[in-house]
């Protein structure tokens, strides 16, 4: 079994590669597009505080667990779970965790790709408008056009499929090495722009001063779901990448680095966006269009705005691609191992599946806008079911598996640490705090 597991995947040549790949998966639309509008929809500071607490107390411990499972199993999440369940002498039903995770990834990809399509379309938007009204009008007009939305959605899926078909190891390294730092620099530039909008303090207060009366079960679940989504947890993406991690890499340190980079990017995006919101009389509750109606105003007004705006949306699209490949990878790796299909066949089939569901998300902004499920349009509904239900549930099961099912000595062996203070804190968070808190939030929400 060990021999076979070794032969399924190679390992990445350097320790840096795992960090790049995991950061590439984590940093994406979730940070720059979703975090700001979720914060805006859920009352600002209170949401941000709960979100940060979820990252530290639940997200990082589960990330450590997920990477550890992935590296020990050394194959696709579904087969990894099967292998580790056998190692722990327990039921094969754990394979389902990998399988439902792969499904969650495809469902997320279906609407992620629609939003990524917006980012790609904005590369060509020209950034000539300077007023909130004109910029908002452009975005609304764009959403009303089903043909454009489906075109960009299709293009994004095709690019994702091509990269995944060729094998994710090729190319990923070079991209993230140079392009991610560039994206980071433009976000800093936007923060500098935000400082002189006249509403910088107002933006900061909104983002960081919690109004505790705003916390309710919706806000708790939204912040929890966002923590899972932004760190790519609960569905096997990080587990799939863990399979390629060199055996001597320190999992704990790595998880901290990835989570810190990811959180840093999200907070900076918020710091850049909210001052623009307030300075231009926009509402924080703008919803999914928030970045698309704020940042173009900044680019329209700043020197060399066309250059920076175009570059920003190119880099955002690439950040989305480095996330989308991790959304489809758990399914593709599983197809390749278990059905012995070619990577290209697996990528095309699963890409087509995600694409076809995504078409409904694209149409939910225009032709199908009246079609509601529990009061949500199709885009919102897929987003809700995956991020706020499937990922947290996946997280509970991962925590239970590592904390209660795996043999402790195997956990210690894979993490390569001794049973001391750090291990005990982590193990406690994983065994008790994470599953109980996530469970409570879910139950509280449904009651």
Site residues for ligand PFF per CB under 6 A: 25-26, 28-31, 105, 108, 229-230, 232, 235, 237, 323, 326-327
Closest alpha carbon to 35 in 235, 290, 294, 377: 290
Give the residue ranges of DSSP H helices in 280-387: 290-301, 305-334, 343-363, 378-383
List, in order, residues 6 or more apart from 74 with CB less than 8 Å away: 5, 6, 8, 9, 80, 243
**CB of residue 67 to ligand PFF, shortest distance in Å:** 13
**CB of residue 386 to ligand PFF, shortest distance in Å:** 8
Closest alpha carbon to 317 in 134, 108, 117: 117
Residue 41 or 129 with smaller CB distance to ligand PFF: 41
Q: Which long-range contacts (CB under 8 A, 24 or more apart) does 165-168 make?
A: 165/343, 165/344, 165/347, 165/348, 166/343, 167/343, 168/21, 168/325, 168/326, 168/329
**CB of residue 326 to ligand PFF, shortest distance in Å:** 5
**CB of residue 241 to ligand PFF, shortest distance in Å:** 10
Residue 384 or 423 with smaller CB distance to ligand PFF: 384
For the chain, what is the radius of gyration of the CA atoms? Answer: 21
One DSSP character per residue, 245-272 reads: S-TTS-HHHHHHHHHHHHHHHHHHHHHH
SS3 category, 428 = helix
**CB of residue 228 to ligand PFF, shortest distance in Å:** 8
Residue 30 or 331 with smaller CB distance to ligand PFF: 30
**CB of residue 276 to ligand PFF, shortest distance in Å:** 21
Q: What are phi and psi of 403, to 5 degrees?
A: -80, -30
Residue 27 or 84 with smaller CB distance to ligand PFF: 27
Residue 137 or 287 with smaller CB distance to ligand PFF: 287
**CB of residue 441 to ligand PFF, shortest distance in Å:** 18
Residue 27 or 336 with smaller CB distance to ligand PFF: 27
**CB of residue 323 to ligand PFF, shortest distance in Å:** 4
Surface-to-core class of residue 433, CB atoms within 10 Å of its CB (0-12 exposed, 13-18 middle, 19+ buried):
middle
**CB of residue 422 to ligand PFF, shortest distance in Å:** 26
Nearest residue to ligand PFF, by Cβ distance, number only: 30
Residue 31 or 382 with smaller CB distance to ligand PFF: 31
Rounded Cα distance between 438 and 447, Å, is 14
Report the greatest alpha carbon distance in the chain.
Answer: 64
Using the 8-state DSSP alphabet, how is residue 31 labeled? I
Residue 17 or 232 with smaller CB distance to ligand PFF: 232
Residue 235 or 279 with smaller CB distance to ligand PFF: 235
List the beta bridge partners of residue 373.
376
């Amino acid at each position: 079994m060990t021999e076979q597991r070794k032969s399924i995947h190679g390992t990445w040549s350097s320790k840096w590669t795992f960090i790049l790949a995991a950061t590439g998966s984590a940093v994406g639309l979730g940070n720059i597009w979703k975090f700001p509008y979720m914060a805006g929809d859920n009352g600002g500071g209170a949401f941000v505080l709960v979100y940060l607490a979820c990252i530290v107390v639940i997200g990082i411990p589960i990330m450590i667990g997920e990477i550890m499972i992935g590296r020990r199993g050394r194959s696709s999440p579904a087969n990894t779970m099967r292998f580790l369940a056998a190692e722990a002498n327990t039921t094969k039903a754990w394979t389902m965790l990998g399988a439902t995770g792969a499904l969650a990834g495809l469902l997320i990809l279906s609407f992620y790709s629609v939003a990524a399509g917006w980012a790609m379309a904005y590369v060509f938007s020209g950034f000539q408008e300077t007023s909130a009204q004109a910029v908002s009008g452009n975005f609304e007009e764009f959403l009303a056009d089903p043909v454009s939305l489906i075109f960009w959605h299709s293009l994004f899926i095709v690019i994702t499929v091509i990269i995944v078909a060729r094998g994710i190891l090729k190319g990923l390294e070079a991209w993230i090495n140079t392009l991610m730092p560039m994206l980071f620099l433009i976000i800093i530039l936007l923060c500098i722009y935000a400082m002189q909008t006249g509403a910088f303090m107002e933006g900061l207060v909104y983002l960081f001063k919690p109004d505790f009366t705003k916390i309710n079960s919706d806000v708790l679940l939204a912040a929890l779901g966002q923590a899972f989504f932004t760190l790519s947890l609960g569905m096997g993406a990080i587990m799939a990448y863990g399979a390629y991690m060199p055996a001597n890499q320190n999992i704990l340190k790595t998880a901290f680095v990835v989570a810190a980079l990811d959180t840093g990017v999200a907070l900076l995006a918020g710091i850049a966006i909210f001052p623009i919101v307030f300075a231009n009389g926009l509402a924080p509750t703008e919803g999914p269009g928030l970045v698309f109606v704020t940042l173009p105003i900044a680019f329209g007004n700043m020197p060399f705005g066309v250059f920076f705006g175009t570059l920003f949306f190119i880099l955002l699209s690439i950040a989305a691609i480095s996330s989308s490949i991790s959304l489809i990878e758990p399914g593709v790796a599983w197809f390749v191992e278990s059905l012995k299909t070619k990577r290209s066949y697996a990528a095309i089939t699963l890409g087509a599946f995600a694409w076809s569901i995504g078409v409904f998300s694209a149409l939910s902004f225009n032709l199908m806008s009246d079609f509601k499920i529990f009061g949500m349009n199709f885009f919102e509904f897929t987003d809700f079911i995956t991020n706020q239900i499937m990922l947290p549930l996946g997280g509970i099961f991962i925590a239970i598996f590592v904390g209660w099912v795996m043999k402790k000595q195997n956990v210690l062996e894979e993490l390569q640490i001794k049973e001391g203070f750090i291990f005990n804190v982590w193990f406690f968070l994983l065994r008790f705090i994470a599953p109980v808190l996530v469970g409570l939030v879910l139950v509280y929400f449904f009651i």
